Structure 1
Amino acid sequence: MEDLNSSLSPGMLVRHPDHPEWGTGQVQSNIGGKVTVNFREIGKIVIDGARVYLLLVFDE
């Protein structure tokens, strides 16, 4: 499967499309298709980049 988030790098701000209640998260790492994101509302989550396309946030 294709890594939908291969261009994400540490420090970028993102949102999870299926969980807007998590708020904005900051990418901590992107290794082997696994993206670790620290979300304001729930903390650190590891996301499979082949299954979820994270939305970039430009307005914060």
Structure 2
Amino acid sequence: MSDMTALLEPGMLVTHPDMPDWGVGQVQSNIGGRVTVNFPDEGKVVIDGTRIGLVPLFESDP
């Protein structure tokens, strides 16, 4: 699990680096590096945080 994945908590907003068309998703859970994210254009997706580094969005991000 990457350091960034370990920091993801429910409610945080993220994007998938390889699937920008999925839009901005909201983290639902992060258990053992398996992150469940609800994307508006893809639905609920479980992502292996050891393989994909989700990109968190912060308030200052556009």
Note if 1:53 corresponds to 2:53: yes
Counterpart of 2:15?
A: 15
CA distance in 1, matches of 2:56, 2:32: 19
Q: Which has the higher helix share?
A: 2
CA distance in 1, matches of 2:18, 2:56: 14
TM-score (norm 1): 0.91
* Helix, strand or coil at the partner of 1:29: strand
- Runs (5+) with no aligned partner, structure 1: none
TM-score (norm 2): 0.88
Letter of the structure 1 residue corresponding to residue 46 of structure 2? V
Shift in Å, 1:57: 1.3
Moved over 3 A (4+): none
Query: RMSD of aligned C-alpha atoms?
Result: 1.0
Q: How does 1:15-54 map to 2 (within 5 A)?
A: 15-54=15-54
- Runs (5+) with no aligned partner, structure 2: none
Percent identical: 62
CA distance in 1, matches of 2:57, 2:7: 14
User: How many residue pairs align between the two structures?
Assistant: 58
Deviations 1:1-60 (A, max 9, x none): xx1201100000000000000000000000011000000101000000000000011237
